[in-house]
Structure 1
Amino acid sequence: MPDKTINGVSISVDDDGFMTDHSQWNKELAAALAEEEGISLSDGHWKVIDYILADYAEKGTVPGMRRINKVGGIPTKELYALFPGGPIKKAAKVSGLPKPTSCV
């Protein structure tokens, strides 16, 4: 498993750059991961991240688009505005979670 250094901290990631040890994740690291994706985190981003983290803790899997829309109450259009070019994948990466199974 490769390691990656962000802000002077070494984290474990898979070949696609997703963290493999969520215990290494924190909000400062999330901001750095978001920056790598060209995203500056706002309250809207944190709403998505907080929902994904809570749902992952409960279900053990990254929620898909439909669940985030229906259960999380976050519209698809908003997700694409916050995380352009792959909102679930990017939100999961910034949240320090594994690559969603729905992403190829």
Structure 2
Amino acid sequence: MSIAINGATYETDEEGYLINLADWNKEIAEHIAEEEKVPLTDNHWEVINFLREYYNEYQIAPAVRVLTKAIGKQFGEEKGNSKYLYDLFPYGPAKQACKIAGLPKPTGCV
């Protein structure tokens, strides 16, 4: 499977996650977010950029519990909770946010 943006084609797996993480850019994120029906705000980008940094450091996409804790540590309690993250990414903060961030599906996500 693949997605096409501005004449370029990017390979994805059967669930729409990018195969080559180095392909990711802002336009790809916006395209995937549109398909996921997630209007990207500054709060979304905060989580997306956090996930990319986390992945660069640990080479793993965090599961939702780990993500919630890490977001809380970095951005404060009002953002480090499931309700806040599910409001941003209704189909699963770890799963959906990682897809938009161009990361692999988090371990333990179905």
The alignment's TM-score, normalised by the length of structure 1, stands at 0.91
Tell me how far apart the structure 1 counterparts of residues 30 and 3 of structure 2 sit (CA, whole Å): 15
Gapped regions of structure 1 (runs ≥ 5):
none
User: Which runs of structure 2 are paired with 1:28-67 in the superposition (5 Å)?
Assistant: 28-67=27-66
1:17 is aligned to: 16
- What SS does the corresponding residue of 1:71 show, helix, strand or coil? helix
1:100 is aligned to: 106
Tell me how far apart the structure 2 counterparts of residues 80 and 7 of structure 1 sit (CA, whole Å): 31
The alignment's TM-score, normalised by the length of structure 2, stands at 0.86
1:44 to 1:79, Cα distance in 2 relative to 1, 3 A: same
Paired residue total = 103
1:7 Cα offset (Å): 4.0
- What SS does the corresponding residue of 1:5 show, helix, strand or coil? strand
CA deviations over 1:10-43 (Å, ceiling 9, x no partner): 0011111100101111012101110000011001
Gapped regions of structure 2 (runs ≥ 5):
73-79
Tell me how far apart the structure 1 counterparts of residues 60 and 17 of structure 2 sit (CA, whole Å): 14
1:86 is aligned to: 92
Tell me how far apart the structure 2 counterparts of residues 40 and 9 of structure 1 sit (CA, whole Å): 23
The one-letter amino acid of 1:72's match is I
The question of whether the paired residues in 1 share the 8 Å contact of 2:18 and 2:102 is answered with yes
